[in-house]
Amino acid sequence: MIAPRSILALASATLLASALTACGGKQAEQDRATLDPAIAAALADPLMTDPDLTAQNRAGAALTGGGVPSALIPTDPLSDEANAAAKAEAITLAGGKLDQVPLASGSTNSEAGETALLSYRRAFGGTSCAASASYTFGWAAKMPEPFAIYPRGHVQESVGSDAANCRLRAINFRTGVAVAYVLDFYATRARKAGFAAEHRATGDAHALSGKKGGAGFAVYARPGPEGSTEVDLVTNGG
């Protein structure tokens, strides 16, 4: 028979272990929230009683709903492994090989606007079509061929319209690969689709653009924060 004192000691030890486990679990959750900015931001978000607010939790999603405010950038898409995978996927999408972007032929009109929509206006001029545009990340999934978002690119802003005679897309995204890889990808895709692309540069800011019939495109690429590349990808018609 176990002595009463032993039973009491065993019960006390069990309760202490349970308390330490609970505290340890809470501390682990707190540590994780501290280390993971996406989790910390999600915890700080308001309760989502409105279904439309589900777009505020964008961690791990490249194409999610939203408007002008930027989406969170998860740290993983900027890792060496993610960048290597993105480059491999880009080569596959380009048919197994990337052409080098043509040498820059000028230094005018190479910088993007302050927003993706301003970049669209800079590339194609006018405001009538821009007035019909709406903000939703769904437009980023409806890019015309061959101007899909660079593989694993993280979309921050997405504007578009399918109004009569105003088929436009204006997308801002970030990727961990260098500017040159982005330009090579779109130069290759544009050439294969029959666009004659022109390359311009001013310092670190690059622009690749071209037209074919009633369709046109422009890619504005420059170094972004934390070693990323920031891109405005705009299309008109097509």
Q: What is the pLDDT of residue 149?
A: 96
**E runs forming strands in the chain:** 134-135, 154-163, 166-175, 198-202, 205-212, 215-223, 229-236
Mean predicted confidence (pLDDT) in 150-177 = 95
Residues 6 or more apart whose CB falls under 8 angstroms from that of 173 comprise 140, 149, 150, 153, 154, 155, 156, 230, 231, 233
The predicted-structure confidence for 116-135, as pLDDT tens digits, reads as follows 999 999 999 877 888 889 99
Neighbours of 217 (CB within 10 A): 28
Q: Which residue has the tokens 């001029």?
A: 125
Q: What is the amino acid identity at position 135?
A: Y
Look up the pTM and report it: 0.69
Q: Measured between alpha carbons, how far is 31 from 28 in angstroms, rounded to an integer?
A: 5
Q: What is the amino acid identity at position 52?
A: D
Q: Measured between alpha carbons, how far is 29 from 11 in angstroms, rounded to an integer?
A: 27
Helix axes 80-93, 179-192, angle to 10 degrees: 10
The predicted-structure confidence for 155-164, as pLDDT tens digits, reads as follows 999 999 999 8
The predicted-structure confidence for 6-62, as pLDDT tens digits, reads as follows 444 444 444 444 444 444 544 444 444 444 444 333 333 343 333 333 333 333 334
Task: Check whether 144 has a pLDDT greater than 80.
Answer: yes
The predicted-structure confidence for 199-208, as pLDDT tens digits, reads as follows 999 999 999 9
